[in-house]
Structure formats: C-alpha cells, structure tokens
A and B are shown apart, each in its own frame.
Chain A
Amino acid sequence: MNEELDSQLSAMFDNELPAAECELLARRLSRDGDLKARWGRYAVIGAVIRAERGVTLDGTVAGRVNAALSSEPALVEANTPQAAARAAQLRWWQPVAGVGLAAGVAAVSILWLRSQALPGGAHVVMPAMVAGTSALQPAAQSALQGASATVPDSFVVPPVPQRPMMVVPATELADYVVAHSAFSWPVSRGNLLSALMVSEPGTSSTPARSEQPASGVQGNAIQNPK
C-alpha cells in the first residue's frame, strides 16, 4: 500500500490532517475495504495502549451497528443543517427577487404609459433613432416627408357633448351653506366656504372663467405649436 496514503491515514485518525486532505481521504476511506480495516486496527492499537479493560477488540460493536443500520435508509442531504441553511438563503432571496421583478415590470409599464400620454399622442423619439433616420435611403426619406405632409397643423379634440347645466346663483348657494353650517363639520364647512369664495367672480384672486375661448383656442380645437 502507498506509504504516503498510510501516513495520511494515521494523521487523519489523530485529527491532525489538513481539512482539504481529509475530504479526499474520507471519500476513499468510506469505499476502500482494506483502508477501512487498517483504520479499525489503528483503533484497536489505541484501545490496547489505553488498557481499556472489558472492551472486546474484535469489532463486535461495529459489526452489529453495521448490520442494524443496513436496513436503515441513507441520510439525504435535504435533512442536513447545511441544506436547511441553503434553503433559508433561497427563501430570503425569493421575495427580494419577486419584488425586483415586480418593480421592473412597473417601471416598464410607467415608461410605456408616459410615452403614450405625451401631448398630441407624440412618441418619445430617441436620438439614436433620429440619427438612424438620416441614414435612411432617399426613397424612404421622401416617403416619410410625404407622410408628414399629410399630418394636419392642428390636432382636433372631439367635442364633449354639452349637457344642460343647472345654474345656481352664487349668492343663493352661499346663503344656503351658511344656513346649514350649524349642522356640518367645521373642516368641511371651511372647505366649502373657501370654494365658494374662489368661485365668486368678485372675490377670486384668479381670473374669472370666460365663456369665450381664449385667443389661440378656437372652439375645442387647440392650435398645434410649431
């Protein structure tokens, strides 16, 4: 037998072998019958030196344990503390990864919605895309120019159907609110009164709404800025 291997076996028996060498030797030891028998004899030598009286030295206990465990199933890694620790680590990462994935999806959705919600339905144009268009073939460029010529100068917003409004004079509404203020919450009463004050043409600090459209706005049509 290899002398170096035997030397390692002796050191391993004394727990004096480096851990890296132990891994390899333990693997061999559990499979090699001769090596295992030698290991058993090393234990016998120790028992004799320690004068362990009353202890049988012919490997009775080892044989009986081996026979008793032959019907036992081998241990599986899922039951070990290391596997449990690995599973715990995975359990910790799973929700984090889930949250990250959800955040990514949400960010992409927001970007997409923002690109859809730009004024006039215009899309975000990346500089690279703009640069790319300059490299297009002349035919494609002329086609694009033709298409842009068909776009109208103004974007027409469909008119909102007019519904008949019930016009209540502001002074009457204020009287009504004051009359019923005793029965309402102070906070909501304040809000309602301040809202009325704002809507009163004479008291508001903001310009009063005009029934006529402002300049630049004709009907419901918004002029496209150029």
Chain B
Amino acid sequence: MSADASDLSLVRRVQRGDKGAFDVLVLKYQHKLVKLVMRYVRNPAEAEDIAQEAFIKAYRALPQFRGDSAFYTWLYRIAINTAKNAVVSRDRSPVEYDLDRNNTDESYDMQGRMKDSETPEGLVLTDEIRSTVNAAIEALPEDLRTAIVLRELEGLSYEEIAEAMACPVGTVRSRIFRAREAIDRRLREVFEGGLGRAEELG
C-alpha cells in the first residue's frame, strides 16, 4: 500500500480537471498549513492569507507535480516559500510600530485575530468547536481515545498503533473510525447550528 495513495488519487483527479478533488485536499490540510505558516508570521489572519496563497500556487503548479514526493511534503514546501517571501516583502515595506508587541502570546493572538477579516461569530464558533471536540474525546472509551490520539497527535501509522496497542491493524482502523464517528456526531450539531461553512463547500 502506498503511504500517499489517497492524496495521490485526489491529486490525479485534480490533474484530470476535477476541481472538487482539490477542495478535499484543502479541507484536509488547511489547518496544518496555517499552523506551519504561523512559525513565520505571528498574525493568524496573515497566516491564513499566506496559506490561501500557497494553496492557489499549489493548484496552479499541480500539472508539474509528478508524485515523486508525498503531496503534503510538496505543499509544505510551497507554503514555506510563500511565507518566507511574504516576510521579506513585509520587511521591505514601511515599518509598523506595534506597541502591543510585549503582550503575552494569547492577547497578541486574539488581537491578531480581531484585527483582520475574522468575525466575532467565527471566533465563537472556533471556540465552541474546540470545546465540543475536547468534551467528546474525554467521553470516549479508553481504547478508542488512545487510538485516535496516537494517530492524530503522534502521527503513528495503523501498523505502529497496532503494535503499541497489541491488536490487529483491522481493529485499529475500526477503533479510529468509531472514535471519529462519536466525535463527529457531536461536532455536526455545532456546525449545523452554527455557520457550517464546511457544508457550503459541497
């Protein structure tokens, strides 16, 4: 089994003209990319702009992607270059004196978020999503919680998780799926009751 088979199958679809498949890739990697870009820029709104630009660059460069490396490795490289260029061009622009630079990370983070296009409703929704997911994880049976955390937090493969939990790979797949289902059931209520922008993408 190829480690990147699912991404590659989506990439091939985009290369054949299926733009919907690119939405799927963006949905999967948007958070990771914003997080990555925030190593270079501290403002979350600016990080989102750079991530958006990186995705658009990736889409335009996708015809040249041959699949020699994993898609996310290639995407991350584009994002890092875009972030570095953004930092360089920002440094060349007139200096902004930010008197609040000495504040704590948390307050700067909130200020950055409120500075740009982010709406208060969006921030509330994000906080609600976070608390819902955390509560749902806490409510999971231990074997499901361990499986999903090892996968998402530690980035272990199913085989590695199976070894760690002393169970077959099929059981790991089932546990991770059931954990996601349990969390998603509660999360869906938040999205359907809130802005539900992910639904709009469909």
Residues on A facing B (Cβ under 8 Å)? 6-7, 10-19, 22-23, 25-27, 29-34, 36-50, 52-66, 68-69, 72, 74-77, 79-82
List 7 other contacts, CB 8 Å, given A15-B6, A17-B6, A22-B6.
A27-B13, A29-B10, A33-B199, A36-B202, A41-B198, A66-B26, A69-B56
The 9 closest A-B pairs by CB, nearest first: A33-B202, A30-B20, A79-B63, A47-B31, A40-B198, A48-B133, A74-B17, A19-B5, A10-B177
Q: How far is the CB of A14 from chain B (nearest CB, A)?
A: 6
Stretch at the interface among B80-88, B89-97, B181-189: B181-189
Q: How far is the CB of A26 from chain B (nearest CB, A)?
A: 4
Which residues of B have CB within 8 Å of A65?
23, 26, 30, 52, 55-56, 59
Asked whether, in the complex, the Cβ of B28 is within 8 Å of the Cβ of A69, the reply is: no
Asked whether, in the complex, the Cβ of B174 is within 8 Å of the Cβ of A30, the reply is: no
How many residue pairs link A and B with beta carbons under 8 A? The number is 244
Task: Judge whether B100 is part of the interface by a CB distance below 8 angstroms.
Answer: no
In Å, the complex CA distance between A64 and B18 comes to 18
- Jot down 13 A-B pairs with beta carbons below 8 A, ordered by A: A16-B157, A19-B5, A36-B20, A42-B180, A43-B31, A44-B198, A48-B130, A49-B152, A52-B32, A55-B44, A56-B44, A57-B31, A64-B52
Asked whether, in the complex, the Cβ of A16 is within 8 Å of the Cβ of B1, the reply is: yes
Which residues of B have CB within 8 Å of A19?
1-2, 5, 8-9
Closest A residue to B22 by beta carbon equals: A69
Choose from A7, A15, A56, A76 the contact partner of B177 (Cβ within 8 Å): A7
Choose from A23, A40, A43, A75 the contact partner of B62 (Cβ within 8 Å): A75
Asked whether, in the complex, the Cβ of A58 is within 8 Å of the Cβ of B152, the reply is: no
B107-123, CB < 8 A from A:
109, 112-113, 118, 122-123
Asked whether, in the complex, the Cβ of A81 is within 8 Å of the Cβ of B30, the reply is: no
Task: Judge whether B165 is part of the interface by a CB distance below 8 angstroms.
Answer: no
In Å, the complex CA distance between A18 and B134 comes to 31
In Å, the complex CA distance between A17 and B149 comes to 19
Most chain B CB within a 10 A radius of its CB, from A44, A49, A63, A69: A44
Which residues of A have CB within 8 Å of B125?
57-58
Asked whether, in the complex, the Cβ of A44 is within 8 Å of the Cβ of B55, the reply is: no
Asked whether, in the complex, the Cβ of B5 is within 8 Å of the Cβ of A77, the reply is: no
Q: How far is the CB of A43 from chain B (nearest CB, A)?
A: 5
Which residues of B have CB within 8 Å of A53?
109
Asked whether, in the complex, the Cβ of A44 is within 8 Å of the Cβ of B187, the reply is: yes
Most chain A CB within a 10 A radius of its CB, from B2, B5, B12, B137: B5
Asked whether, in the complex, the Cβ of B201 is within 8 Å of the Cβ of A6, the reply is: no
Which residues of B have CB within 8 Å of A36?
20, 23-24, 27, 198, 201-202
